[in-house]
């Protein structure tokens, strides 16, 4: 019997390039893969689906997409779901690849991701599963992706406009308060539809300028302070679109954490990943210890419990062991 393990890392989602129907392209994710926290999906061939109830939706979708009779699947390592670190996409793709390999097949996760309901808005999660790195994707043609979801089979995961490996010394501070999970599923879909219907197109114009004149040059030149300032600005601009749905530019209590982290000289930029509650700080190896201390202080001063981590950006995609 073949046992296959697929190990993959989390991701940060900094924001979208456009959420307004006034422009030709919609969405366009910007984010980065992380070396940790990670998760590992292990699969063996089986005559039916054998897994925990938490994994069952992912495994059943993968089995259907692959056309195999079943699989025994286990999550042997993982991190919290719906905290802004992209666990859903990584579990879905990890299960897909592990089950395929266990049945002696090789599969293109990007091609099958739509059948798993992944990559419909942002292509960042799929791209970092493939190769890691910092990713900007091309988004979708607006006439296809309106406020209603497109029909099955009518769309593909947006390709990366570019993918860059960040400098080895760069680090991300992750602060995850013990708060309710971020939005997902039908609740998230309804919120996004509402946002798109109301989105101010001029914000997308500001983001386009930010991306081409500040963020991408900072990535290419390895300029950490400029990168931190640019992703912070990207997050605030996106927050203007999301404010009515999440209770402010940042989802409470992310705003107070971000304010406190911003006062630390060891943190060069801050923001909220996806719907939160995880917030991030941009730092480097030399400032990592002080950045982590700033994260602990931010939680304590806000009367919050939670987890603080310093992590490196990913330099590769998912790892497969057979």
Per residue in 221-278, pLDDT (tens digit) is: 999 999 999 999 999 999 999 999 999 999 999 999 999 999 999 999 999 999 999 9
The pLDDT tens digits for 74-100 are 999 999 888 999 999 999 999 999 999
pLDDT for 185: 76
The residue segments making up the domain with residue 108 are 4-321
Alpha carbons 192 and 228: distance in angstroms, whole number: 26
pLDDT for 150: 67
The pLDDT tens digits for 212-221 are 999 999 999 9
The pLDDT tens digits for 156-196 are 999 999 999 999 999 999 999 999 877 777 788 888 889 99
User: What is the domain count for the chain?
Assistant: 1
Dihedral, 187, 190, 193, 199 alpha carbons, nearest 10: -70
What CATH code is carried by the domain that includes residue 265?
3.30.230.120
- Helix/strand/coil for 76: strand
pLDDT for 186: 76
Question: Which two structure tokens, joined as six digits, stand for 219?
Answer: 């990535």
Spatial contact of 65 and 88, defined as CB atoms under 8 Å apart: no
Alpha carbons 51 and 73: distance in angstroms, whole number: 5
pLDDT for 147: 62
Alpha carbons 18 and 203: distance in angstroms, whole number: 8
The pLDDT tens digits for 116-171 are 999 989 999 999 999 999 999 999 999 876 666 666 667 899 999 999 999 999 99
pLDDT for 5: 98
The pLDDT tens digits for 20-59 are 999 999 999 999 999 999 999 999 999 999 999 999 999 9
pLDDT for 146: 66
pLDDT for 286: 98
Tokens 């940042």 belong to which residue?
A: 250
pLDDT for 264: 97
Average pLDDT for 65-71: 96
Average pLDDT for 198-211: 97
pTM over 0.85: yes
């Amino acid at each position: 019997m073949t046992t296959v393990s697929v190990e993959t890392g989390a991701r940060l989602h900094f924001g979208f390039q456009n959420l307004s129907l006034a422009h030709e392209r919609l969405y366009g994710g910007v984010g980065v893969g992380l070396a940790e926290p990670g998760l590992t999906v292990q699969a063996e061939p089986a005559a039916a689906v054998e897994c925990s109830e938490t994994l069952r939706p992912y495994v059943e979708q993968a089995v259907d997409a692959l056309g195999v009779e079943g699989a025994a699947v286990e999550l042997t390592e993982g991190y919290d779901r719906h905290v802004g670190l992209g666990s859903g996409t990584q579990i879905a793709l990890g299960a897909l690849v592990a089950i395929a390999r266990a049945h002696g097949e090789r599969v293109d996760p990007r091609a099958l991701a739509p059948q798993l309901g992944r990559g419909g808005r942002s292509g960042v999660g799929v791209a970092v599963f493939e190769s890691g790195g910092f990713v900007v994707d091309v988004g979708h043609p607006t006439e296809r992706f309106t406020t209603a979801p497109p029909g099955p089979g009518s769309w593909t995961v947006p390709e990366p406009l570019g993918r860059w490996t960040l400098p080895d010394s760069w680090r991300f501070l992750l602060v995850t308060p013990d708060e309710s999970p971020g939005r997902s599923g039908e609740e998230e879909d309804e919120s996004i539809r509402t946002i798109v219907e109301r989105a101010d197109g001029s914000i997308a114009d500001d983001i386009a300028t930010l991306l081409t004149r500040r963020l991408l040059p900072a990535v290419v030149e390895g300029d950490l302070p400029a990168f931190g300032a640019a992703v912070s600005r990207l997050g605030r601009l996106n927050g203007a679109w999301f404010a009515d749905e999440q209770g402010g530019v940042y989802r409470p209590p992310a705003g107070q954490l971000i304010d406190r982290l911003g006062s630390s000289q060891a943190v060069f930029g801050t923001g909220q990943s996806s719907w939160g509650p995880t917030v991030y700080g941009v730092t480097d190896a030399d400032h990592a210890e002080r950045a982590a201390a700033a994260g602990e202080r931010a939680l304590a001063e806000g009367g919050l419990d939670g987890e603080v981590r310093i992590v490196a950006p990913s330099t590769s995609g998912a790892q497969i062991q057979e």
